[in-house]
Amino acid sequence: MATHVPLDKRSIQDAGACMRLGYLRCLERGKSDQKAPSAAEQILLRYGRQVGALARWGFPGGLLIAGETFADALVETRQALDAGARILFEPAFALDGVAMRADVLVRRRPLELDLIEVKAATKPDDYVEDLAVQVWVLEGLGHKVRPHLMLLDPKATLSSKSLFKRHDCGERVRALLPEVGRRVRELRDQVMAGRQPDVPFTRACRDCEFLGGCIPGLPEHS
The predicted pLDDT at position 176 comes to 97
Q: What is the mean pLDDT of residues 43-48?
A: 69
How would you class 151 by CB atoms within 10 Å of its CB: exposed for 0-12, middle for 13-18, buried for 19 or more? buried
pLDDT-derived band at 1, boundaries 50, 70, 90: very low
Q: Which helix (H) or strand (E) holds 55?
A: helix 39-55
Residue bearing the bigger pLDDT, 205 or 150:
150
44 or 57, greater pLDDT: 57
pLDDT at 219: 72
What pLDDT is attached to residue 44? Answer: 66
What is the overall mean pLDDT for the chain?
87
- Residue 183, pLDDT > 60, answer yes
First CA to last CA distance, the chain: 31
Average pLDDT over residues 137-165: 91
pLDDT of 172 over the 70 cut = yes
Confidence of residue 51 (pLDDT cuts 50, 70, 90): confident
Query: Per-residue confidence at 49, pLDDT binned at 50, 70, 90?
Result: confident
How far apart CA 148 and CA 17 sit, in angstroms, is: 24
Nearest CA among 49, 56, 119 for reference residue 88: 56
The 10s digit of each residue's pLDDT in 68-93 is 899 999 999 999 999 999 999 999 99
Burial class (CB in 10 A: 0-12, 13-18, 19+), 134: buried
